[in-house]
Chain A
Amino acid sequence: MMMKPMMMDQDIKLHSGTRIYGKWHKKNYQIIRHLGSGAQGTVYLAHSNQGEVAIKFGKDPSSLISEVNILKRFVALQGDPLGPYLYDVDDWVTNKGTINFYVMECIKGVTLDDSIRHKGFEWTCVFILQLLKDLSRLHELGFVFGDLKPENLMITESNYRIRCLDFGGTTQIGRSIKEYTEFFDRGYWGMGIRKAEPSYDLFAVMMIFIYAAEKRRFNKTEHPRDELIKKIKTNPKLKPFEKILLKALGGQFHHANDMRQAFLYKMNETNRIDSRITRRRTASSPSKKRYQKKKSVSGWIGASVWAVVIITLYVMYTVLYVM
């Protein structure tokens, strides 16, 4: 019983073509390729009778059970899905032992982490608004997401919608957070205990925002709180949202929807600033530079004003349409 110490870092490696057979439900799957790995499991793209699916294999026999319990609750939910659709839960008996797995909808797209690295900050703003909407629904169901971070969020390629993955950290409100990642955890930054309450997730949302602006994770130093405040006040991308971010930092938002409204309001007010940053970023790309050199100064200003107007319209369009 429980005599073996658990090993926490083995990754499950499967070759493309490997056949997976479920012990209980007797369904067949065939591995196509690796999709991603995390602390709890490894996810593969696979063929099934229903078409392409994502299969998550657990690193230890029961690591996936609690997230499966959460995904099951979502199956019955109305409206936009809160997580990937759950198809099957089973065990795969191999000659090296039994591996627990579950089969879910494959979400086609990139992680928020990739999106942050390759797309403008205005996109992150839109995704955060979408995320806050989903979190608000999750909180209403009585759960806190817990391990909120860019790797656990995906952006669908079909309609630019954020989707939560990995409900391994999802915890009933009032209990202690099951799983977290230091950089996004308020406990790590000395900003509160790890109790599941909406403000715990909202702190992580704020950290995702900081991460998106800084494009890197940094370690805490002597005064973690002051450090975050300084980042918020000095980074030009964060500055316009200072009030909201500081409020989330202090755990003063108790509803995701309040934070969303505050962002929505601020974004309408400040998207010019956002756009200017976007323009500066694109302006430094080599192809644009060559183009700019040929233009006169006044012509350049005219063009950039147009760019601001167009980008502003674009942001408004995405805010209104995509959400």
Chain B
Amino acid sequence: MNKGKIKQILLITDGCSNQGEDPAAMAALAKEHGIVVNVIGVMENYETDDHGMKEIDNIASAGGGVSQVVQTKQLSQTVQMVTRQAMTQTIKGVVNQELQDILGDSKSMEDLPPEKRGRVMEVVDDLGETVDLEVCILVDTSASMKTKLPTVREALLDLSLSLTSRMGKNQFCLYTFPGKRKDTSKIMSWTPKIDHISQVFSKLASGGVTPTGPAIRDVIKSFSTSSRRHLISHDDEAYDDGPRY
């Protein structure tokens, strides 16, 4: 964010994790890395899956992000809304921090009179439009997700439509879990063009367990290698990861 950059993990899943670390803990870890975790729960219809819903909520809370449970057909609009809201939320967090530095004590935007709040919101809007955004998309491809994948694909294309309409730059990458032999597999490296997802999506295999926690832990690295690469060397092609501009 210091450099005008927002990092997000967008987790798309349909239910409960059943392997490895607690996903909420891993989301909290992501947050420590300056990465916000948003979660979208895809349900066939509102199955009353309290446990799954709770987990989805917890991951987003711990990851400083936004969560939403939707029916498959509403996915497109929700994905872009959640991404956008989380972005605004992150910026607001930063703006609030600044406000606290300026105004002292525990003042936040909501403590300002409506007139001033309006002006601060314009700044938030400006930033939301121009800030660079990195989204690591993490899709649950465990057996139960199989029928939902075509809709997920469409929702992601729709997301790209919204994000490319912004003035700021965007970078995306795509991971799925469970992977073949590992918890996670990388489907697409960082790219400004999410449309590439179209081609890779048809090749996605689904099936297996749901290691949500380990998957979050894994993709945190996709962001951090980018900063490591910058620190170590600029032309080390051994690191395929990390957004490039």
* Distance of A194 from chain B, by nearest CB (Å): 4
Contact indicator per residue, chain A 150-182, by CB within 8 Å of chain B (1) or not (0): 000000000000000000000000111100001
> A299 on the interface (CB 8 Å rule)?
no
- Tell me whether A292 is interfacial, beta carbon within 8 Å: no
Separation of A26 and B219 alpha carbons in the complex (Å): 50
Number of B interface residues at 8 Å Cβ cutoff, please give it: 38
Which of A4, A176, A187 has the most chain B CB within a 10 Å cutoff? A176
- Given the known inter-chain contacts A5-B57, A62-B109, A175-B129, please indicate yes or no for A193 contacting B165, CB distance below 8 A: yes
- Residue-wise, chain A 188-222 has the 8 Å CB interface mask toward B (1 for contact) of 10000111000000000000000000000000000
In the complex, the answer to whether B125 meets A66 with C-beta atoms within 8 Å is: yes
Chain B residues with CB below 8 A from A90, complex form = 114
B residues in contact with A193, CB < 8 Å: 161, 164-165
- A76 CB within 8 Å of chain B: no
Q: Which positions 103-119 of chain B face chain A at CB distance < 8 Å?
A: 108-110, 113-115, 117-118
- Given A1-B96, A5-B66, A175-B166, residue A187 in contact with residue B90 (CB < 8 A): no
Q: Number of contact residues on A: which range applies?
A: 20 to 34
B167 lies within 8 A of chain A by Cβ: yes
Q: Give the distance in Å from the alpha carbon of A177 to the alpha carbon of B76 in the complex.
A: 15
Question: A69 to B123, alpha carbons, bound, how many Å?
Answer: 12
Q: With A and B bound together, what is the CA distance between A188 and B110 in angstroms?
A: 34
Contacts of A91 in B (CB 8 A): 110, 114
Which residue of chain A has the shortest Cβ distance to B164 in the bound complex? A193
Q: Is the CB of B162 within 8 A of A176?
A: yes
In the complex, what residue of chain B is closest to A65 when comparing beta carbons? B121
Q: Take A6-B66, A69-B121 as given contacts and tell me if A194 and B110 are in contact as well, using a CB distance cutoff of 8 Å.
A: no
Looking at the complex, which one of A6, A89, A194 makes contact with B162 (CB distance below 8 Å)?
A194
Contact A175 B66 (CB under 8 A): no
Interface residues of A in 75-104 (CB under 8 A from B): 89-91, 98, 100
Contacts of B76 in A (CB 8 A): 182, 188
How many angstroms between the C-alpha atoms of A65 and B124 in the bound complex?
Answer: 11
Pair A1/B161 contact, Cβ less than 8 Å: no
Assess whether A8 is interfacial by the CB under 8 Å rule.
yes
Complex CA distance for A116 and B162, rounded to whole angstroms: 30
Point out the residue from B97, B113, B114, B165 that lies within 8 Å of A177, measured CB to CB.
Answer: B165
Given contacts A65-B118, A91-B114, contact A2 B167 (CB under 8 A): no
Given the complex, which residues of B lie within 8 Å of A72, measured CB to CB?
118
Assuming the contacts A187-B158, A194-B162, asked whether A6 and B89 have C-beta atoms less than 8 A apart, the reply is yes
11 A/B residue pairs, CB under 8 Å, sorted by A: A2-B90, A5-B61, A5-B65, A65-B114, A65-B117, A68-B114, A72-B118, A90-B114, A91-B114, A98-B110, A188-B158
- List B residues at the A interface (Cβ < 8 Å): 57, 60-61, 64-68, 76-77, 81, 85, 89-90, 92-93, 96-97, 108-110, 113-115, 117-118, 121-122, 125, 129, 158, 161-167
